[in-house]
Amino acid sequence: MRTAWLLSVAVIAASLSIDARAQNLDYNKIEILTEQIAPDLYMLSGSSGLDPAHEDAAGGRIGVLAGPDGIFMVDAQYGQLGDKVLAAVRRISAAPVRFLVNTHIHRDHTGGNAAFAKMGAVIFAREELRQGMVRAASTGGTASDALPVVTYGLGEPVKLHMNGEVIDLIPVRAAHTGGDTIIRFENANAIMIGDYYRNFGYPFIDLANGGSLKGMLEALDFTMKVAGPDTRLIPGHGTLVKRGDLIPYREMISVVAGKVQQAIAQGKSEQDVLAAHVTAAYDGTVQGGLLPAAGSASSADRFVSELYQDIKAGR
C-alpha cells in the first residue's frame, strides 16, 4: 500500500510540474511553422527554444489534412496558441475544420480542443482519454466543450475517408499514456505516432495518465510492424523518422529497463539507481537527454524514475 501511495504522489507531482512549466511560457513569442508532407498533408510545429518542457519545438506537433471534403486535424496544441494555430490552418485552407483527433491527453496536444469544437469540429479520441479529461473537468481543469464526442477502445482502427485519403485511427496499448492513438494516412504513407517515440530527450512514460513500460515497447513493436521501410513516422516532438530509427530507440529502453530491474532485484532504492547513472552509455547520443524535465533534474532522471516506479509496482 505504501509503495502504491508513494507512486501516486510522485506521478501527480510530476503532472502538476508539467502544467506549471507550461504556464510560464511566453506564448506571444511562439510562432507556428508549417511543413508540407504530401500534396494535402501538412504538419504544424511551435517555435524552438521557447518551451521549457519541449526545447525542440513549443507544444506538440499538429497534423492537417486539407481538401474539398474539409479539414481533418491531429491534435490542437496549447489552448493559448489557438489563434495562431487557426491562422496557420487558414493559410493552408479556408475549408471548415470537420474532424479533430487527439493522440493523447497532454494539454500541449488537447489544449486547443474547445476552440475547434466551437467552430464545429467533431473530436475523436480514446475512451480512456475522455475519461481522464472528465476527471480533470471535475476539478476545473478542462472545459466540457473540449471533450471528445466520438470515442473508441482497443480493437480495429477507426477509418475515415476524406480528400482522397484513407485515415486510420489506430489505438495502441498504454504506452506514453493510457489513451494513445496513432494516425495513419495510407496514401501519403505517413503515420503520426504521438509521444511514445521522441528523439529529443529520453522517453516519457506518464504513469499518472496510465502509461507503461510494457505498453511503450509493444507500441514500438507494433509501429515497426505496420510501417514500411519508406513510411514517414511523425512523432509529436522531434524530427521525422523511418522504421529503422525505432530499433535503437527500443533497444535503449530495453537495456536501461533491464539495468533498473536488476537494481530493484538487488534491493536498491530509487535514489540508488539514479545515483548509478544507468543511462550513461546513451547520454552522449540522446539529444536533450540531460536537459531539465518536468518533475526531475533531467530527462534521463525522469525516465529512470518512471522505469523504477513502473517495474517496482509490478505492472
Cα 106 to chain center, whole Å? 7
Residue 241's φ and ψ, nearest 5 degrees, are -135, 175
| All domains in the chain, ordered by first residue | 25-248 (3.60.15.10)
218-251: pLDDT as tens digits: 999 999 999 999 999 999 999 999 999 999 999 9
* Cell, residue 125: 479520441
2-35: pLDDT as tens digits: 333 333 334 444 444 445 455 578 999 999 999 9
Residue 181's φ and ψ, nearest 5 degrees, are -135, 140
Residue 238's φ and ψ, nearest 5 degrees, are 95, -175
Which residues have a Cβ under 8 Å from the Cβ of 269 and sit 6 or more positions away? none
pTM of the model: 0.91
Q: Cα separation of 16 and 96, whole Å?
A: 35
